[in-house]
Structure 1
Amino acid sequence: MSDQDLTPQTETQAQILPTVLRSLTGAVISGGLGFALYSLMIAIATNFATKPIHSANVLVVRITSAVRTLVVGVVALGSGIFAIVAIGLLALAVQMLVQQLTKPKSS
């Protein structure tokens, strides 16, 4: 017995072209997520700073410090990535706008 599909699958996905509106919408969404993650990072860092580590064991203090640093670092990385994506989408929107304005009109 063979496991061949009787219906051939064709890859006829229409390529969606970028537009200024889509770029600006994506930039707003990405910027919003970046700001939300930045606010979360500040809240987490403030929370960690107000609650000191209560232990006499050096290993516990080091592991706790490492975990706190990793948590704040991962959230900061996510915030930075979303901010960079927002800046890139804004630049793409500006580029497309300039191209549309400078393109000669054909009749």
Structure 2
Amino acid sequence: MSDPNITPQVEAQASVPMTLLRCLTGALISGGLGFALYSLMIKIATNFASKPIHSDNLLVVRITSAVRTLVVGVVALGSGIFGIVAIGLLALGVQVLMQQLTKPKSSEN
């Protein structure tokens, strides 16, 4: 009951230096995931298109159409996000490369 207020000690994490290799590796991974999700989206949409809805109930047709649209939309959103991240990491890699090329060399005496 009489425990003193203990504040957690936050350890300062050293920031990892940004390098061209890290940017390109991240862009490659993100681009690969984006392409995989894009391919999955095309397969899902083709599968849904090849199997029409067999029902006379209008509510069933509308709910099925909404669910199909939602599934394809979520996969397309994931694909787009990974694609945008890949483009951003490539641009960051170009920026890091330009900074490395324009940085003056420090001469040691």
What is the TM-score of this pair, normalised by structure 1?
A: 0.93
Q: Distance in 2 between matches of 1:63 and 1:79?
A: 24
Structure 2 unmatched ranges of 5 or more = none
Name the residue aligned to 1:106.
106
**Residue 8 of structure 1: CA displacement?**
4.6
**Residue 3 of structure 1: CA displacement?**
7.1
Letter in 2 for 1:42: I
Letter in 2 for 1:95: Q
Secondary structure at the aligned position of 1:52 is classed as coil
How do residues 1-107 of structure 1 correspond to structure 2 at under 5 angstroms? 1=1, 2=3, 4-5=5-6, 8-107=8-107
Q: Distance in 1 between matches of 2:37 and 2:70?
A: 15
Q: Distance in 2 between matches of 1:8 and 1:73?
A: 43
Letter in 2 for 1:49: A
What's the % identity of the aligned pairs?
80
CA RMSD of aligned residues (A): 1.4
Secondary structure at the aligned position of 1:92 is classed as helix
Residues 50-104 of structure 1 deviation map (CA, whole Å, 9 limit, x = unaligned): 0000000001000000000000000000000000000000000011101111111
Q: State how many pairs are aligned.
A: 106
